[in-house]
């Protein structure tokens, strides 16, 4: 498997504040599955921000998809972001739009026409179990349904890397099981998955490698497969 992400001696800070991440070193392989673990405030969300190119490191070396990110131009960042899907903890759905319109949005932003959008959107909604609600407003969905919709929107472009911030944190047990199962199925199809979570039960029941953060420093736990 090829390496799609490499961090070497990476630090990150917000403004003039002390670094929230220090001397971070790890690699992600194509098709891998990792947890980002640690207590609240350990730096999990900050690490995800670096991974989805939402923040620049204060120092160190990052390489993603064979691109050196020392001084990336706007075009390079746009190209790389198309390879990355993001599932936010608070969903960030457009609740005044329908389920179908939320999933289609990334494709429409890319300039795809309606005839080319409808097929992939319908197929994906059927796969995640929301085909029967494609015309419902996002605001009418349950928490578990909103999370599945957020996953669908994140993967409609078929990203190589999917990042999820506490995707099961606010869900009941059944919804949590379904959402996590969906992420596992995506991984089997070849998408690399990184999940930030503080759910120790989820981690213990699924023996994936961990990028464990403590006080801004990273410890690798478990082995690659």
Q: What is the pLDDT of residue 224?
A: 60
How many whole angstroms separate alpha carbon 191 and alpha carbon 31?
5
Q: What is the pLDDT of residue 51?
A: 96
SS3 for 24? Answer: strand
Q: CB–CB of 176/168 below 8 Å?
A: yes
> Is the pTM above the cut of 0.85?
yes
Q: What is the pLDDT of residue 168?
A: 84
Contacts 24+ apart (CB under 8 A), 70-79: 77/53
Other Cβ atoms less than 10 A from the Cβ of 178: the count is 17
Q: What is the pLDDT of residue 54?
A: 92
Helical H runs in 110-220? Answer: 114-127, 143-155, 173-188, 200-205
Q: Could you say which DSSP state residue 193 is in?
A: E
**Spans of the chain, pLDDT less than 70:** 223-225
Beta-bridged to residue 12, according to DSSP, are 21
Digit-coded pLDDT (tens) for 140-165? 999 989 999 999 999 999 999 999 99
Q: What is the pLDDT of residue 225?
A: 45
Q: What is the pLDDT of residue 73?
A: 87
Indicate the domain borders of the chain: 94-158
Helix axes 99-109, 143-155, angle to 10 degrees: 20
């Amino acid at each position: 498997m090829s390496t799609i992400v490499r961090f070497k001696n990476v630090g990150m800070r917000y403004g003039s504040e002390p670094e929230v991440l220090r001397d971070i070193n790890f690699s992600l392989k194509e098709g891998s599955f990792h947890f980002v673990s640690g207590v609240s405030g350990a730096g999990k969300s900050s690490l995800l921000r670096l991974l989805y190119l939402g923040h620049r490191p204060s120092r160190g070396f990052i390489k993603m998809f064979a691109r050196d990110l020392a001084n990336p131009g706007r075009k390079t960042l746009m190209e790389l972001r198309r390879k990355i899907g993001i599932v936010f903890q608070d969903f960030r759905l457009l609740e005044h739009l329908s389920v179908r319109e939320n999933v289609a949005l990334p494709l429409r932003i890319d300039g795809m026409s309606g005839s080319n959008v409808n097929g992939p959107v319908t197929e994906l909604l059927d796969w995640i179990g929301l085909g029967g609600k494609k015309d419902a407003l996002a605001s009418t969905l349950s928490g578990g349904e909103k999370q599945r919709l957020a996953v669908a929107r994140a993967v409609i472009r078929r990203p190589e890397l999917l990042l999820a911030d506490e995707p099961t944190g606010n869900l009941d047990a059944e919804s949590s099981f379904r959402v996590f199962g969906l992420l596992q199925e995506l991984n089997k199809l070849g998408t690399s998955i990184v999940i930030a979570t503080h759910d120790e039960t989820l981690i213990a029941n699924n023996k994936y490698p961990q990028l464990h953060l403590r006080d801004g420093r990273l410890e690798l736990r478990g082995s690659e497969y």
